[in-house]
Structure 1
Amino acid sequence: MRRLAALFVVPTLLLAAACGGSNNKGSSSSSASGLPAITAGAKFGTKPTVAKGKGDPPKTLVTATPVEGDGAVVKKSDYITVNYSGQIYASGKVFDNSYDRGAPFSTQIGTSQVIKGWDQALVGKKVGSRVEMTIPPNLAYGSQAQSSIPANSTLVFVVDVVAATQVPTTAKGTVQQQNDASLPKIGTNTDGKAPSLTVPTAKTPPTKLVSNYVIEGNGKTVKSTNTVVVHYVGALWKTGKPFDSSYTKGQPVTFTLNQLSVKGLSQGLVGKKAGSRVLLVIPPSLGFGTTAQTGIPANSTLAFSVDILAVL
């Protein structure tokens, strides 16, 4: 997974690391509690303005729910979709926010995919809630500086929980015929383990993108603007050697299709259904082109098995 990390646009938040209604009667937090006041944008879904902290920052995680949602309760291992703003407690300087990007952010929660303060604060909250949290350094980035975040910083976040989704571990659906001997063959196991990916020997690679169902699911149709959760294996056409796999990390990958730099991945998944396993063969023009990557020579044709586990 690390090798393909450059394919994904990752918010500052992660550099270490079903919609519900909401009650829009926003309320401000008190700085006396260790939560700086929300001075503007108090309603769920609006960009908040938050005062800087007063006095010494709290030594433990402090949270409040100024807007209580009425959606599903967020469970450990759910994939959540949120809008958020983060700033430094002492200075009030905003270091990252999703509101200005015009798109919410999705991640798995409670599984160390984000900073510990988020994992602890958001599990158990309801979809449609606005959560404010003050996070001490030991639950954030600790002694490691991150971009514009100084070492040993206490952080303040306001997070709007837009959705929470439970994601399966594997594709499940109707197995499709794989009769073209000129294309890679992919295993059809549905036990959550990596499927086999066998590239044909002594075959000339396709010059155009190949995107075929191996298992056809019955979930949502993927759009170019969607965020998807996938498991994948990638191999070099020339050698058949795998160069990357999300299975080896033990976690699926979440990304927004229109933010991918490898166009073959985004183009190949658009129009496919959630729950499916898809064979992708990506020519160099839609992959890394003439630029070599670690383990991927320049002008490489790439083969992928991709399980589309969920559309967020």
Structure 2
Amino acid sequence: MRRLAGLIVVPLLLLSTAACGDEKGSESTSSKSGLPAVTAGEKFGEKPILDKGEGNPPKKLTVDVLKKGDGATVKSGDAVQVNYLGQSWDSVKPFDNSFDRKQPFDLTLGAGMVIKGWDQGLEGQKVGSRVELGIPPELGYGSQGQGDIKPNATLVFVVDILKSTQVPKSAKGTEVPQSDAALPKVGTNADGKEPEVTIPKADPPKKLVSNYVLEGTGEPVKATDTVVLNYTAYIWNDRKQFDSTYKTGRTATFPLPQLTLKGLKAGVVDKKVGSRVLLVLPPDQAFGDQEQQGIPKNSTLVFAVDILAKV
């Protein structure tokens, strides 16, 4: 099974290692749990500056709530938006942060999008909280490291939890007749299981198709939104499935401004959250004359997409 996510969205911020310069401050706020002190930017929403860790790093996940918010409690499966800064225990040089980019990071908690220390450390926290995480190697990047992160590094993150949205298991809405025999038919089950897709033995359409299968009642998706999707995807010509979030048990979270698969982005924009949509992407809206991970060039692609939430 080919995984499409890596082709259509820029690498996840936590998997990148954009280096930042050494930064130091004069005053510090000590951690309750022995984690490195915040020496500047102590308030929620400010870019923090962290001191270097002292002594031996924690051997287990350590979570310190620097500021407790009063919003909803974050649960596994929620679509969460955060700002963060991360550095290694023995360094004062951040390896990545979202504050400088002025672009919060979106993830689905518990979906394996981020390192395990994040999935475990953020669960149960409240929106509006600032938390500091001390993450041992086995819950971070382990013996392999990642970019500027050395093998077996203990990581320290300061995370501001901005939003959390509960994600339903399935699209639910009014069934829309699928009367065009020249188009694929998509199942209308709303039990969270993968819908059946039947592709006709006919020539594919030349233009993008974006049709409701189940029309939900949520807000229309805008091109600037980040959306949480479940989808199954096929190649029209051989009717073979090439990707499915249902098979992995993990939804996909896509910031639409960063989505490079034109037809997928265009197909969900203006559709209502909570809907199931049939998308047929002609080659010029898919990968064109470029072969991608075994998807032949000039392929027409078929998606059944549940628009579960937007962040």
Q: Give your verdict on TM over 0.5.
A: yes
Query: Counterpart in 2 of 1:239?
Result: 238
Alignment pair present for 1:102 and 2:102: yes
Runs of 4+ in 1 over 6 A off after TM superposition: none
- The correspondence of residues 120-139 of structure 1 with structure 2, limited to 5 A, is 120-139=120-139
1:31 to partner: Cα distance: 6.2
1:54 to partner: Cα distance: 2.4
Deviates further, 214-223 or 113-122? 113-122
Q: Distance in 2 between matches of 1:235 and 1:201?
A: 14
Q: Distance in 1 between matches of 2:31 and 2:171?
A: 47
Give the counterpart letter for 2:9 in structure 1: F
Q: Distance in 2 between matches of 1:77 and 1:180?
A: 36
1:36 to partner: Cα distance: 1.3
- The correspondence of residues 259-298 of structure 1 with structure 2, limited to 5 A, is 259-298=258-297
Matched position secondary structure for 1:163: strand
Instruction: Please say if residues 32 and 64 of structure 2, whose CA atoms lie closer than 8 Å, have aligned partners that are also in contact.
Output: no
Matched position secondary structure for 1:82: strand
Query: Counterpart in 1 of 2:7?
Result: 6
Q: Distance in 1 between matches of 2:187 and 2:33?
A: 55
CA, structure 1 residues 270+32, in 2 after alignment: closer, same or farther (shift >3 Å)?
closer
Give the counterpart letter for 2:293 in structure 1: T
Give the counterpart letter for 2:6 in structure 1: A
Give the counterpart letter for 1:189 in structure 2: N
- The correspondence of residues 1-312 of structure 1 with structure 2, limited to 5 A, is 2-14=3-15, 28-30=28-30, 33-110=33-110, 112-203=112-203, 205-312=204-311
Query: Could you list the runs of 5+ residues in structure 2 that have no partner in the other structure?
Result: 17-26
Matched position secondary structure for 2:191: coil
1:55 to partner: Cα distance: 2.8
Percent identity among equivalent residues? 57
Deviates further, 94-103 or 215-224? 94-103
Cα deviations by residue, 1:125-166 (Å, 9 ceiling, x for unpaired) = 110000011212122122111122110101110000111121
Please report the RMSD computed on the Cα atoms of aligned residues, expressed in angstroms.
1.9
1:224 to partner: Cα distance: 0.9
Give the counterpart letter for 1:291 in structure 2: Q
What is the number of residues matched between the two proteins?
Answer: 300
Matched position secondary structure for 1:2: coil
CA, structure 1 residues 208+111, in 2 after alignment: closer, same or farther (shift >3 Å)?
closer
Q: Distance in 1 between matches of 2:267 and 2:251?
A: 18
Matched position secondary structure for 1:258: helix
Query: Could you list the runs of 5+ residues in structure 1 that have no partner in the other structure?
Result: 16-26
1:304 to partner: Cα distance: 0.7
Instruction: Please say if residues 29 and 42 of structure 2, whose CA atoms lie closer than 8 Å, have aligned partners that are also in contact.
Output: no
1:11 to partner: Cα distance: 2.3
Deviates further, 270-279 or 137-146? 137-146
Q: Distance in 2 between matches of 1:102 and 1:287?
A: 30
Q: Distance in 1 between matches of 2:244 and 2:32?
A: 48
Q: Distance in 2 between matches of 1:265 and 1:175?
A: 21
Q: Distance in 2 between matches of 1:75 and 1:297?
A: 39
Instruction: Please say if residues 29 and 35 of structure 1, whose CA atoms lie closer than 8 Å, have aligned partners that are also in contact.
Output: no
TM-score (norm 2): 0.91
CA, structure 1 residues 232+35, in 2 after alignment: closer, same or farther (shift >3 Å)?
same
Instruction: Please say if residues 72 and 126 of structure 2, whose CA atoms lie closer than 8 Å, have aligned partners that are also in contact.
Output: yes
Give the counterpart letter for 1:53 in structure 2: G
Q: Distance in 2 between matches of 1:119 and 1:241?
A: 33
CA, structure 1 residues 170+31, in 2 after alignment: closer, same or farther (shift >3 Å)?
closer
Matched position secondary structure for 2:14: helix
Q: Distance in 1 between matches of 2:186 and 2:171?
A: 13
Matched position secondary structure for 1:5: helix
TM-score (norm 1): 0.90
1:291 to partner: Cα distance: 0.8
Give the counterpart letter for 2:226 in structure 1: T
Matched position secondary structure for 2:246: coil
Give the counterpart letter for 1:7 in structure 2: I
